């Protein structure tokens, strides 16, 4: 028969409110006094341990002390003893490494075992011995450290604290179906010492030690200096760049902070938690609302073992924003963590704010046309770009022959793939893609099979390859959007694509959108003959370009680039870093200044010629 106390008692649960204990305690207690261990761990470790301890005996005594200060009726004691003197039922508590448990194999998955012996003539049988055996197989890498659990090192100290809890008579609260933060849970976690539920369990059997009743064990939880801040109305104002120290002082605690961005908004916004031990998740809401969700983070960009959180936003508009901080699973406390919010206020632009907001190209991909490749470049600062490969949704615009299932792959200038997507609805950030797309005015795709990437990129050139998942040939629209606010520093500065023009391929159609105010100058080129110098065969012998505005009115065009304004075009070419066109070639180039709006560039072969052509659109600063 098993004699257990689960979670103390119902009466205690009511007193403790939301922090109801979940410990599982045996009724077979030790008699008052010392629980003495023969520590047969071999004394010195092979080298200094991570926490600075130089012997396993020190680690063991330290683990015992963790319990001792919280309980009263019994105390763990121990002394170093010779290796190999252990006995299974000799009424001596032994703590040792072994490859077996008194001759029984551990099994491949077992790290440590506590064997407890009960002997007597009346129930409950009194506890008379508890041996703790650590598996010493070579695959285990025993050490001693604090903080977040490391995947390549097994922390003997926290495992021993857990096993000593078994020796006291505590069981796994999680195996009993209860969800609570505890080192007595069956799972090793970031918890490296006894916490409230463990302490309450020990104290239920052996009374309150010198450390007293833990927070959460009675009365009103104290929390940090900013409590009560559990709801948005009580959010603490946090100053740009000034950290605040908070805690998740009880299971389910939530902390709210708020900050206000003025003027034209903020850029390079970083919201992060830091600390020694804990696993936070943060949520950003706003502007001027604690309900409008913007972003969240667990610990996605943190190295192994760091479970704190960080949200990076390239920009935020003016307004008040709210941040909610939680323990990741809402099943543990965090003794202390820092929250910091920093940003750079956006200064008012002194001149034109016009910039390229969107670049796109529609052409055939696959088969004889090869994979359609879009190149684009960003400058000045890192920025979010939304890149879309649209196929099946084109039917909504009367386009026939589109590919059915686009796949987009993005490469950096070193030809390293940095992102890819097949079906955008399967992307982990599909909600953000939909939200950002709507904000940018991109038409909503009516098919989940479209390929869409939302990517933060540093200033550099990039290429996007779009093909059909089943290698079908057809029309596809590739778009690259500036996905930041209009006041963000980063800019889209270039678009290029090379593909077949004329004949079955038809007209090469590229589009761009200028946002902001004022005007901007663009260098637009349709390159054919000069491509031969780069080894391209079958080039379009005589391209010509036309630029149409949103009303389909032609606002500019060119056949042969040096037929007019050649000097200015040469200068602009050098300024933007484009390759020089061959003097006297039939390539086309246009230097044009435009107001904000949507424009289309058409590249065709003069006289119906067909061939390979490159279209480029450069912002000329």
Partner 1 sequence: MRILRPFSFCFRLLVGWGVLTSATWATTIRPPSFEELVDLSGRIVRAEVVEVRPFEDSHEEDRIVRTEIILNVLESFDGNVPVGELRIRHLGGEVNGLRLEVGAMPKFESGKEVVLFLHSEGRFICPTVGWGHGKYRVDRTASDGVARIIRSNGLPLQSIAQVAEPIHGGPMKAQSFDPLSQPDGLSLAQFRQLVSNQIQAGRQDR
Binding site for partner 1 (CB under 8 A): 87-90, 101-121, 125, 149, 151, 159, 162-163, 166, 171-172, 174-179, 185-188, 279, 298, 328-329, 331, 404-405, 422-423, 425-426, 448-449
Of 179 and 473, CB closest to partner 1: 179
Q: How far is CA 439 from CA 263, 376, 389, 442, 463, in A?
A: 20, 21, 18, 8, 24
At its nearest, how many Å lie between partner 1 and the CB of residue 87? 6
CA 73 to chain centre: 47
Phi, psi values for residue 586, rounded to 5°:
-90, 15
- Let me know the angle formed at the C-alpha of 289 by 284 and 290, rounded to the nearest 5 degrees: 50
- Nearest distance, CB of residue 232 and partner 1, angstroms: 24
Nearest approach, Cβ of residue 72 and partner 1 (Å): 24
Bond before 357 cis per omega within 30 degrees? no
245-248 LR contacts (CB < 8 Å, sep 24+): 245/336, 245/337, 245/338, 246/325, 246/336, 246/337, 246/338, 246/339, 247/223, 247/333, 247/334, 247/335, 247/336, 247/337, 248/278, 248/280, 248/325, 248/326, 248/327, 248/332, 248/333, 248/334, 248/337
Query: Closer to partner 1 at the Cβ: 131 or 587?
Result: 131
Q: Which is nearer to partner 1, 142 or 544 (CB)?
A: 142
CB of 236 to partner 1, least distance (A): 27
Which residue's CB is nearer to partner 1, number 125 or number 264?
125
By C-beta, is 22 or 523 nearer to partner 1?
22
Nearer of residues 87 and 367 to partner 1, judged by Cβ: 87
Query: Half-sphere exposure of residue 559, counting CA atoms within 13 Å on the CB side?
Result: 5
Distance of closest approach, residue 296 Cβ to partner 1, in angstroms: 14
What's the CA gap between 185 and 24, in Å, rounded?
10
Structure tokens given for 81: 């003893």
**Nearer Cβ to partner 1 (125/555):** 125
Find the shortest distance in angstroms from Cβ 24 to partner 1.
Answer: 11
Residues 6+ away with beta carbon under 8 Å from 175: 24, 186
For 224-289, the DSSP string reads -TT-S-SSGGGPEE--TT--EEEEE-STT-EEEEEEEE-TT-EEEEEEEEE-SS--EEEEEE-SS-
- If the CB atoms of residues 257 and 449 are measured against partner 1, the closer one turns out to be 449
Q: Which residues contact 40 (CB under 8 A, 6 or more apart)?
A: 81, 82, 83, 84, 85, 86, 94, 95, 96, 97
- In angstroms, the CA 398 to CA 44 distance is 78
381 alpha carbon, distance to own chain's centre = 21
The distance of closest approach from Cβ of residue 493 to partner 1 in the complex, given in angstroms and rounded to an integer, is 35
Quickly count: other Cβ atoms within 10 Å of residue 18's Cβ: 11
Beta carbon nearer to partner 1, 51 or 423: 423
Q: How far is the CB of 152 from partner 1 (least distance, A)?
A: 10
The residue (of 192 and 484) whose beta carbon lies closer to partner 1 is 192
**Residue 60 C-beta: closest distance to partner 1, Å:** 15
Of 177 and 608, which has the nearer Cβ to partner 1? 177
For residues 270 and 293, give the distance between their C-alpha atoms in angstroms, rounded to a whole number.
16
At residue 576, the 3 state secondary structure works out as helix
**Which residue from 410, 428, 427 is spatially nearest to 419, judged by alpha carbons?**
410
Shortest Å, Cβ 396 to partner 1: 18
Nearest approach in angstroms of CB 437 to partner 1 is 19
Decide whether 105 or 460 has the Cβ nearer to partner 1. 105
Q: How far is the CB of 20 from partner 1 (least distance, A)?
A: 15
């Amino acid at each position: 028969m098993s004699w257990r106390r689960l979670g103390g008692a119902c009466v205690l649960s009511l007193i403790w409110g939301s922090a109801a204990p979940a410990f599982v305690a045996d009724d077979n207690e030790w008699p008052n006094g010392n629980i003495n261990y023969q520590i047969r761990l071999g004394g010195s470790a092979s080298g200094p341990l991570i926490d600075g301890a130089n012997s396993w005996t020190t680690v063991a005594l330290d683990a015992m002390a963790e319990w001792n200060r919280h309980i009263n009726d019994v105390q763990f004691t121990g002394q170093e003893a010779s290796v190999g003197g252990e006995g299974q039922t000799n009424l001596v508590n032994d703590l040792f490494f072994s490859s077996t448990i008194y001759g029984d194999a551990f099994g491949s998955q077992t790290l440590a075992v506590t064997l407890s012996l009960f002997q007597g003539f009346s129930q409950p049988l009194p506890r008379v011995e508890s041996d703790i055996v650590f598996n010493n197989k070579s695959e285990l890498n025993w050490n001693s450290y604090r903080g977040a659990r490391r995947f390549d090192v097994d922390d003997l100290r926290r495992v021993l604290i857990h096993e000593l809890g078994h020796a006291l008579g505590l069981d796994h609260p999680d195996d009993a179906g209860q969800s609570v933060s505890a080192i007595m849970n069956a799972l090793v976690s970031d918890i490296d010492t006894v916490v409230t539920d463990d302490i309450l369990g020990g104290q239920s059997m052996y009374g309150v030690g010198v450390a007293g009743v833990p927070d959460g064990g009675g009365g009103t939880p104290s929390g940090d200096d900013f409590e009560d801040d559990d709801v948005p109305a009580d959010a603490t104002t946090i100053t740009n760049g000034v950290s605040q120290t908070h805690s998740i002082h009880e299971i389910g605690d939530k902390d709210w902070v708020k900050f206000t961005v003025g003027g034209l908004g903020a850029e390079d916004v970083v919201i992060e938690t830091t600390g020694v031990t804990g696993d936070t998740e943060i949520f950003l809401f706003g502007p001027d609302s604690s309900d409008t969700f913007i972003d969240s983070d667990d610990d996605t960009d943190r190295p192994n073992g760091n479970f704190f959180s960080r949200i990076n936003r390239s920009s935020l508009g003016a307004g008040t924003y709210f941040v909610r901080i939680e323990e990741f699973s809402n099943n543990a406390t965090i003794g202390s963590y820092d929250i910091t919010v920093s940003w750079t206020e956006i200064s008012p632009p002194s001149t034109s704010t016009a910039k390229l907001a969107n670049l796109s190209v529609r052409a055939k991909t696959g088969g004889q046309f090869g994979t359609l490749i879009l190149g684009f470049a960003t400058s000045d600062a890192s920025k979010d770009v939304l890149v879309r490969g649209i196929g099946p949704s084109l039917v909504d615009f009367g386009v026939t022959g589109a590919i059915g299932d686009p796949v987009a792959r993005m490469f950096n200038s070193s030809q390293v793939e940095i992102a890819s997507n097949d079906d955008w609805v399967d992307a982990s950030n599909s909600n953000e893609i939909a939200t950002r797309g709507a904000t940018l005015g991109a038409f909503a795709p009516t098919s989940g099979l479209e390929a869409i990437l939302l990517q933060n990129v540093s200033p550099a050139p990039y290429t996007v390859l779009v093909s059909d998942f089943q290698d079908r040939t057809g029309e596809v629209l590739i778009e690259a959007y500036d996905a930041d606010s209009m006041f963000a520093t980063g800019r889209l500065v270039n678009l290029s694509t090379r593909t077949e023009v004329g004949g079955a391929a038809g007209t090469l159609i590229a589009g761009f959108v200028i946002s902001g105010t004022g005007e901007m100058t663009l260098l637009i080129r349709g390159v054919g003959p000069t491509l031969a110098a780069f080894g391209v065969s079958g080039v379009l012998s005589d391209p010509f370009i036309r630029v149409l505005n949103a009303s389909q009115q032609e606002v500019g065009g060119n056949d042969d680039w040096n037929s007019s304004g050649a000097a200015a075009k040469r200068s602009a070419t050098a300024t933007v870093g484009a390759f020089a066109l061959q003097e006297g070639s039939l390539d086309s180039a246009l230097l044009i200044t435009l107001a904000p709006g949507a424009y289309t560039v058409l590249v065709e072969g003069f006289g119906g010629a067909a061939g390979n052509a490159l279209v480029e659109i450069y912002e000329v600063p």
